[in-house]
Amino acid sequence: MKNKITSNLLLLSILIFVACKKSETKKPFNVLWLVAEDLSPDYLNAYGDLRAPTPNLDRLANEGVVYTNNFSVSGVCSPSRATLTTGLYPNSFGAQNMRTLNQQPAIRESGIIDYQVVPPPEVKMVSEIMRENGYYTSNNAKEDYQFFKSELAWDESSIYAHWRNRPDENTPFFSIFNFGVTHESRMWNFKMDIFDEGEFPPDRSVKKWNEKHENSHVPLLVSEDLEIDIPPYLPQNEIGKNAMRRMYTNIMRMDTGVGKILDQLEEDGLMNQTIIVWFSDHGGPLPRQKRLLYDSGLRVPLIIRYPDGSRAGERDNRLISFVDFPPTLLSMVSIQAPSYMHGQAFEGTFKAETTRTFVHGHADRFDETVDMIRAVRDKRFKYLKNFYPGRPYYLPLAYREKMEVMRELLRMRDAEILDENQALWFRTTKAEEELFDTENDPHELNNIANDPAYAEILNTLRVECKRWMKAIDDKGLIDEKDLIKNFYPNGKAQLTKSPEIEVQNGKIRVNCATPGARIGYRYSSEKAPHKGWKFYTEPIVEKPNDTLEIITHRLGYKYAITTIANGTMGETVYPPNRHDKQ
């Protein structure tokens, strides 16, 4: 009898142990995106340039995977982020122009208003999909999607947003932290980054410091004696060197910010429960980098550290596009991506069986300047299709000309002292087609489109460019004013219809007739900055003496909020946004 009891206890212990292990195995991973701005991989230790010490990125690289052929879809921020949040190419739904939410005065004079792009009705922000699947989502803090964020996409999107604000430690999270210190504007404007002080939430003194030292010069962290390699298209003088030193300094400051977030992850004991993804939103901040479709504008760093230490120290050479990021994010946590997304998962449960052959990019309006270029690249060759060959490559841009190094290029141009490489950007016309061998010509200075030896490659990429543009129904072929008329039929943003509400026996049923509208709700007594709207999936139980708020929102439309208190429905309001004043 005693042996039988012992055996049963042993069996029970084994079953409990197995159940616990099984439960641990099933616990979903967190995902952390650390996003730098305006940064090419060419200037990082992990990619071979040792000038700027980046111990935190080096740690991620040593413990994770360095992806060497990762590309943005655009050489500028807003269209790139439109893709990162939707999984669609920006030029497939009219988000290709930089930018739409806040126009520069010069483009306003031409009749282009501030406007939201309207994605197709089925499209959701990927963070909303994560929320629907039980994830706490936080964004600290840049948005800039070409449309105002879905009100159901984030539990919190602010400089105070953090995974630490989630309701309990068992709730998995998807959190984004953005590092603005490497942005183009930090080449001429030296405000502090919120991570420089190492506070979370960030101390209000950062804002006070910025107001007091608006034009102050942050000291260089790299030595002024540091030997510098200046790209051949930039001034080969002290001004060119200073621009490079400033960029390296900003990289080091960004790395410090990354380290602070990693420290917080370790403090919380979450390093081995979290997939850490570090990348930048497009290529470098310098002239002939940002906004252009050369690799200096499109190729971006990507490092992923996996919780189980798998593939540590590996270098992955597959072609990857930003359209692949949303489906991969979902795949990493075993969520099937919606079929409307243009990309394919390159990791995770739903990893694609075949790898990419091509990546694609676009360039359209940038603030007050208008052009249209499309790019296709395989692992070695880059094809550019210039739709306005009669326009020069360099188009004046007030924002870019705040950089000393840009002003120096213009001075050299006017003095007619540019060398052959520097002068390429200032051609008064450009070829209709360009082809570059990025392996032998990494700065893309030598157009080989007319070389018969490359005729077959040229035709292959040309055909792929046409195929891609047709497949996504490229909206760059539509005049922007006509796009706006489509998005804003009456000259104003479209309104998400107010909800259809039925109150019966203390339960509230809700419907919205706007195609693609999402429905959310919250009780006034439960409102908090770090709590997002709840998704409406079934009738809501009314609470006595508590006001229920119901939100209906389609991306690109103004959202509606309707209140119900004690069984009585209040009026529907459309909260104002900054576009209402135009």
Q: How far apart (Å, rounded) are the C-alpha atoms in residues 115 and 566?
A: 38
Q: How far apart (Å, rounded) are the C-alpha atoms in residues 546 and 207?
A: 37
The number of helices, as runs of H, and strands, as runs of E, in the chain is 13, 20
Question: Is 77 one of the annotated active-site residues of the chain?
Answer: yes
| Active-site position among 20, 77, 465, 512 | 77
Q: How far apart (Å, rounded) are the C-alpha atoms in residues 276 and 324?
A: 16
Say if residues 533 and 560 touch (Cβ distance below 8 Å). Answer: no
Counting beta carbons within 10 angstroms of the beta carbon of residue 156, is it exposed (0 to 12), middle (13 to 18) or buried (19 or more)?
A: buried
Local structure of residue 279 (DSSP, 8 states): E
Say if residues 173 and 138 touch (Cβ distance below 8 Å). Answer: yes
> Within 10 A of 14 (CB to CB), how many other CB atoms are there?
10
Strand partners, 509: 502
Q: Which amino acid, residue 207?
A: K
Q: Which residues, 6+ apart, have CB-to-CB distance to 573 below 8 Å? A: 560, 561, 562
Q: How far apart (Å, rounded) are the C-alpha atoms in residues 184 and 52?
A: 18
Q: How far apart (Å, rounded) are the C-alpha atoms in residues 220 and 404?
A: 16
Say if residues 85 and 320 touch (Cβ distance below 8 Å). Answer: no
3-class state of residue 256 by DSSP = helix
Residues carrying an active site annotation: 77
